[in-house]
């Protein structure tokens, strides 16, 4: 595939110029010790000689066994995004312990630590979701902080939930020391006894929509009540540890990052609770040593070709709109030019072929059973859609990594052939128009059609729409474009996901409705949805002055989103518009709102 070119606008170039981070002194690249490349070139600042005796005393107390280890052993940070209250993350401490033990068996010192996480599934639809996106920045800040402050020579990061993966990669780009990501893995599908079919976290939210509109029932037993079905879903949708099981944001990011060469082969598909995931943790220790010996650093891997691979994988698999936000931020951290126009160019060329949830039938655990992402990559490399020549954390090229894996088996139904796609082009569309002059991101699989025209019904916060849906107040008798605004990065603040609303629309089968927002969506969202409208309402974007009854046209063929209001009328409305008083003025969300950039540049806090 031809490499898409980046936009040349002065604004984008200013946003995408390579960021500068604090450079710590270390032994020069290529420094040899006993005929080998010195692997402790950062930690030796503290451990050689007697310039930092207090540091050495504390390291001995922390577990360095002897003087030889102090002076010669490289120190590797093992960063897990572990916490107990979320199935995506609750097992990561144990994975980290396995990685640490394996690193020590490689003759290196390993220091395990963790950073914070927020469960998108638990916070969805409430004010807690406002804290989700900013955790990406906290995770990146935490890993950068520990790696640099403690003079670690390398990093193995173990993320599990949506914002975890991009947070880890952004940190890698900042400290640029040999690094590997070990994905915590996907959850196994749940199963509903009342409906007799596989279910997952998204099923719960769609069932809620059907429940509100009184259409939730069992086709197998009319005596089963809607409340019993809801109880069944709540108790069985998530059977254990692992990230949400469809091609939602966590699995979108893990598969994209694997296509970039920053994980071991099949890390993105290996289920969280499988023995293979533990074996991967052991292999990661050997691989990080290879990265150190060959001086393979994150920014050697975070190239434009690698980001092109990530975009191809996202389109092929039907990934989350959040990947647009996260890949832009990862590229910004690495100083790699990447813009919305580049994403559209890839979408124009790459088909959508994966029958995976949320819009499809299967789950990522099912994909693992037929060969996983390496087998998908073999198909894409053979078709010259994926660049197999990029270097990876194994010290081999991507093509070399996937060579031992089988091709996709004949007769499987999860990944279609390239000549029989679900949609001939990508499902992610970048839209512009008088509603979104700075861009918007649509997720349109083709199943909902490619164009929608309807009257605006405006909600100034997500909870207003959720309340209307819970009360069954959205009618079926006319085409409506539901507009949710003041939920962008600054206005939310925190750009909350709106899975509760989008899933309720699907569950209630409100096919006469489209949903647009300056906020964002969960990877589990599907339907005729548009998010990331830029400029957002809180900074005076045109979406702030949409009125009930304005006719809105969303066209995925012309890549436009517009309202039937003339430029002069929009300008007049904006002159009368007054910015609302921020409802958060202190604490972490207030700091985030002050620092965060717009969605079209990844909602970053260190490029603004």
Which residues are part of the catalytic machinery? 522
Tally Cβ neighbours within 10 Å of residue 242. Answer: 28
**Distance (Å, rounded) from C-alpha 340 to C-alpha 123?**
28
Which tokens go with 229?
């079905």
List the beta strands (DSSP E) in 310-433: 428-433
Q: Is 535 exposed, middle or buried (0-12, 13-18, 19+ CB in 10 A)?
A: buried
Main-chain phi, psi angles of 349, to 5 degrees: -110, -20
At 454 the three-state DSSP class reads strand
Q: Residue 250, Cα to own-chain centre: how many angstroms?
A: 5
Which residue, 329, 294, 368, is CA-closest to 172?
329
Cα(500)–Cα(217) distance, rounded to whole angstroms?
20
CA 61 and chain centroid, separation: 38
User: Burial of 349 by CB count in 10 Å (0-12 exposed, 13-18 middle, 19+ buried)?
Assistant: middle
Residue 97 buriedness (CB in 10 A; 0-12 / 13-18 / 19+): middle
- Helices 499-507 and 201-212: angle between axes, nearest 10 degrees: 60
Buried b (16+ CB within 10 A) or exposed e, 158-169: bbbbbbbbbbbb
| Secondary structure string (H, E, C) spanning 285-333 | HHHHHHHHHCCCCHHHHCCHHHHHHHHHHHHHHCCCCHHHHHHHHHHHH
In this structure, what are the phi and psi dihedrals at residue 516, rounded to the nearest 5 degrees?
Answer: -130, 150
Distances (CA, A) of 583 to 23, 29, 518, 580: 38, 50, 17, 9
The secondary structure of residue 397, as a DSSP letter, is: B
Task: Find out whether 27 and 47 touch, Cβ atoms under 8 Å.
Answer: no
Measured from the Cβ of residue 549, the count of other Cβ atoms closer than 10 Å reads: 9
Helix 322-334 and helix 340-349: axis angle, to 10°?
A: 120
User: Phi and psi (nearest 5°) for 52?
Assistant: -130, 65
> What are residue 572's phi and psi, to 5 degrees?
-65, -45
The 3-state secondary structure of 502-517 reads HHHHHHCCCCCEEEEE
């Amino acid at each position: 595939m031809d490499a898409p070119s980046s936009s040349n606008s002065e604004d984008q170039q200013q946003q995408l110029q390579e960021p500068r981070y604090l450079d710590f002194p270390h032994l020069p690249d290529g420094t040899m010790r006993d005929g080998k490349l010195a692997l402790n070139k950062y930690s030796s600042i503290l451990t050689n000689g007697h310039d930092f005796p207090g540091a050495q005393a504390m390291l001995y107390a922390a577990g360095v066994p002897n003087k030889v280890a102090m002076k010669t052993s490289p120190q590797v940070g093992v960063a897990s995004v572990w916490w107990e209250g979320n199935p995506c993350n609750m097992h990561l401490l144990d994975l980290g312990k396995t990685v640490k033990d394996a690193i020590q068996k490689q003759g290196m010192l390993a220091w395990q630590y963790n950073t914070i996480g927020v469960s998108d599934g638990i916070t969805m639809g409430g004010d807690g979701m406002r804290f989700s996106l900013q955790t990406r920045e906290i995770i990146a800040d935490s890993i950068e902080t520990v790696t640099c402050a403690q003079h670690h020579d390398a990093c193995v990061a173990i993320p599990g939930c949506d914002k975890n993966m991009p947070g880890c990669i952004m940190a890698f780009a900042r400290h640029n020391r040999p690094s590997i990501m070990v994905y915590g893995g996907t959850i196994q599908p749940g199963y509903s006894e009342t409906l007799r079919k596989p279910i997952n976290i998204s099923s719960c939210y769609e069932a809620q929509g059907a429940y509100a509109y009184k259409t939730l029932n069992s086709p197998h037993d009319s005596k089963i009540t809607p409340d019993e079905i809801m109880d069944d879903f709540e108790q069985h949708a998530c059977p254990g540890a692992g990230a949400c099981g469809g091609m939602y944001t966590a699995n979108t990011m893990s598969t994209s990052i694997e296509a970039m060469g920053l994980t071991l082969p099949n890390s993105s598909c290996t289920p969280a609770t499988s023995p293979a995931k533990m074996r991967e943790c052991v292999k990661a220790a050997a691989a990080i040593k290879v990265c150190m010996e060959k001086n393979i650093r994150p920014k050697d891997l975070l190239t434009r070709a690698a980001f092109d691979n990530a975009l191809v994988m996202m389109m092929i698999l039907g990934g989350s709109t959040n990947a647009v936000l996260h890949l832009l931020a990862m590229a910004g951290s690495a100083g790699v030019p990447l813009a919305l126009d580049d994403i559209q160019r890839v979408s124009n060329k790459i088909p959508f072929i994966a029958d995976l949830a949320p819009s499809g039938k299967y789950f990522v655990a099912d994909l693992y059973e037929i060969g996983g992402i390496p087998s998908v990559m073999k198909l894409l490399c053979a078709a010259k859609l994926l660049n197999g020549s990029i270097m990876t954390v194994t010290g081999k090229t991507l093509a070399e990594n996937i060579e031992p894996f089988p091709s996709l088996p004949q007769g499987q139904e999860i990944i279609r052939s390239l000549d029989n796609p679900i949609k001939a082009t990508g499902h992610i569309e970048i839209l512009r128009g008088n509603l979104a002059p700075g861009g918007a991101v649509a997720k349109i699989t083709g199943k909902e059609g490619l164009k929608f025209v309807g009257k605006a019904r405006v909600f100034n916060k997500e909870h207003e729409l959720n309340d209307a849906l819970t009360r069954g107040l959205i009618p079926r008798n006319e085409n409506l474009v539901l507009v949710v605004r003041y939920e962008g990065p600054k206005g939310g603040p925190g750009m909350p996901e709106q899975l509760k609303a989008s899933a309720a629309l699907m569950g209630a089968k409100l096919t006469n409705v489209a949903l647009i927002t300056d906020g964002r969506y969960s990877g589990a969202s599907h339907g005729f949805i548009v998010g990331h409208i830029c400029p957002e309402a809180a900074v005076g974007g045109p979406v702030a002055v949409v009125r009930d009854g304005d006719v809105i046209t969303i066209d995925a063929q012309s890549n436009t989103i517009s309202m039937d209001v003339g430029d002069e009328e929009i300008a007049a409305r904006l002159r009368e518009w007054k910015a609302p008083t921020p409802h958060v003025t202190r604490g972490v969300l207030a700091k985030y709102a002050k620092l965060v950039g717009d969605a079209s540049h990844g909602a970053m806090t260190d490029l603004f």
